[in-house]
Amino acid sequence: MRTTAAVALEAGKPLEIMDVNLDGPKAGEVLVEIKATGLCHTDDFTLSGADPEGLFPAILGHEGAGVVLEVGPGVTSLEPGDHVIPLYTPECRECEYCLNPKTNLCQSIRSTQGQGVMPDGTSRFSMLDGTPILHYMGCSTFSNHTVLPEIALAKVRKDAPFDKICYIGCGVTTGIGAVINTAKVEIGSTAIVFGLGGIGLNVIQGLRLAGADQIVGVDLNPGKVEMATRFGMTDFVNPTEVEGDLVAHLVELTGGGGDYTFDATGNVQVMRTALESAHKGWGESVIIGVAPAGAEISTRPFQLVTGRVWRGTAFGGARGRSDVPRIVDWYMDGKIEIDPMITHTLKLDEINKGFEMMHAGESIRSVVVY
Ligand code: NAD
Ligand code: AHE
Ligand code: ZN
């Protein structure tokens, strides 16, 4: 079939809207009509050329929601008409990783996913002249139609609005999951969140759900304060307004450091500050942000010797096919909020404007509705 997509032809260039060819689903695959997709900072990171796994030409986008149009041979858990959320972290329920309760990182298709192809090693997308176009994170939600493996789709209830629940495909689940699944924050905890964007705000929302007492937000952009406060931030720190050492300031503000700290910026200096502002003896710091190729983290080993723990999280530690439908229920039941964070709704041909607003710090989440 033919569909319309925003194609990343090369790193550092705006996306180009064009008609592309899409082959039908092969064995174990599913054709999905994407109804809405969010723009995550990770899409921008890959488009910028900073992603060591970035490949071009490709169709980016990994935060979508849509409807199953067709299933390939052997697909048993989905049928046409089902509403689904694509999963960049699939859940095969069979691999060594899925069988280990300590991780959500299903590895059954990770290598082909990183190469921009379906599990059989080929792409379903091509230009009208036949040149192959690569998939991205196994999702490619910047295309109106896409093909995914069955194990990379969460089936969700049909009354949930696509233009809101697409955000559960990455930002909402990553932020809330980092708190609940990865850090396992306890009631009464003190926490510090670095970066109050589309992910950090969901960390704050997760901390409120978990019953944290003090939630400190740190961001260079004071424009994020209003939204963060609405989601549960109790104190705001702008590093540019702190006289002296930021770590010392945060340790004093929290009475010894955060029980839990989270990096949602992708900046390795911030990751160090987050680790060092975790409480001596027990503080845990969770890296969510994705850092550019070549960037490395460092700290004095003494920081760990004296009891701080440094860890990371992908997709908030969530097992998508099991956990995502539950998070959609939380949204529909009013337990979590999504709508205020979606600050802009765009058409596909406005997608580059969405990235410009992200760069300017003007948006929290922009969502493209097809
Ligand atoms: P975003 O652009 O919406 O938000 C980033 C925020 O960080 C902005 O508010 C910005 O002002 C703030 N910031 C930047 N530099 C800062 C600094 N030095 N100190 C304090 N604040 C600073 O981005 P997002 O969509 O929220 O994504 C955040 C990060 O999380 C990105 O690196 C993204 O790639 C990553 N991410 C990781 C996962 C995962 O599974 N681990 C999932 C989604 C996104
Ligand atoms: N490809 C990059 C790393 C990118 C990355 O860390 N991706 C996160 C999801 S970000 C979603 O917005 C992730 O899930 N990582 C686990 C995985 O297996 O990719 C690089 O540095 O090579
Ligand atoms: Zn993302």
Q: Is residue 332 part of a domain?
A: no
Q: Judge whether 71 lies within some domain.
A: yes
Residues 289 and 347 in one domain: no
128 shares a domain with 102:
yes
Structural domain tally of the chain? Answer: 2
Together in a domain, 260 and 142: no
Residue 183 shares a structural domain with residue 164: no
Q: Name the maximum alpha-carbon separation found in the chain.
A: 63
Q: Do 120 and 199 belong to one domain?
A: no
Q: Which pLDDT does position 186 carry in this prediction?
A: 98
* Active-site residue flag, 106: yes
Residues 124 and 239 both lie in one domain: no
Q: Pocket of ligand 1, candidates 170, 290, 315: which has the most ligand atoms within 8 Å of its Cβ, to mutate?
A: 290
Q: What is the DSSP string of 43-58?
A: HHHHHHT--TT--SSB
Query: At 218, which helix (H) or strand (E)?
Result: strand 214-218
Sequential DSSP letters for 90-104: ---S-STTTTSTT--
Contact 266, 194 (CB under 8 A): no
List the domain range (segments joined by +) for residue 277: 175-314
Same domain, 220 and 145: no
pLDDT tens over the chain, length 370 residues: 999 999 999 999 999 999 999 999 999 999 999 999 999 999 999 999 999 999 999 999 999 999 999 999 999 999 999 999 999 999 999 999 999 999 999 999 999 999 999 999 999 999 999 999 999 999 999 999 999 999 999 999 999 999 999 999 999 999 999 999 999 999 999 999 999 999 999 999 999 999 999 999 999 999 999 999 999 999 999 999 999 999 999 999 999 999 999 999 999 999 999 999 999 999 999 999 999 999 999 999 999 999 999 999 999 999 999 999 999 999 999 999 999 999 999 999 999 999 999 999 999 999 999 9
Instruction: Return the CATH number at 227.
Output: 3.40.50.720
pLDDT the model gives residue 108:
98
Catalytic, 92? Answer yes
**Which of 221, 210, 206 has its CA nearest to residue 338?**
206
Residue whose C-alpha is closest to residue 139's, from 129, 124, 128, 126:
124
Which listed residue (3, 29, 40, 276) is catalytic? 40
Look at ligand 1, atom 21, and give the residue with the nearest C-alpha. 219
Residue 109 lies inside a defined structural domain of this protein? yes
pLDDT at 226 (0 to 100): 96
Q: What is the DSSP letter of 249?
A: H
Do 291 and 221 sit in the same domain of this protein?
yes
Answer whether residue 326 is part of any domain: no
Closest ligand 1 atom, CA of 313? 41
331 domain residue, yes or no: no
Residues 116 and 160 in one domain: yes
124, 272, 279, 365: the catalytic one is 365
- The reported pTM is 0.98
Q: What pLDDT score was predicted for residue 133?
A: 98
Assign residue 81 the CATH number of its domain. 3.90.180.10
Contacts (Cβ under 8 Å, ≥6 apart) of 244? none
Residues 191 and 291 in one domain: yes
Q: Choose the catalytic residue: 3, 37, 46, 63.
A: 63
Contact residues for 158 (Cβ-Cβ < 8 A; gap 6+):
83
Shared domain check, 357 and 229: no
Let me know if residue 323 belongs to a domain: no
Enter the ipTM. Answer: 0.98
Instruction: Answer yes or no: is 242 within a domain.
Output: yes
For 103-154, write each residue's pLDDT tens digit. 999 999 999 999 999 999 999 999 999 999 999 999 999 999 999 999 999 9
Q: How far is the CA of 209 from the centre of ligand 2 (A)?
A: 26
53 is catalytic: no
Both 135 and 195 in one domain: the answer is: no
In order, the DSSP letters of 124-167 are SEE-TTS-EEB-STTT-TTBSEEEEEGGGEEEE-TTS-HHHHGG
In a domain, 322, yes or no: no
Three-class secondary structure assignment of 318-367: CCHHHHHHHHHHHHHCCCCCCHHHEEEEECHHHHHHHHHHHHCCCCCEEE
The CA distance from 141 to 194, in Å, is 28
Q: Encoding tokens for residue 295?
A: 């960037």
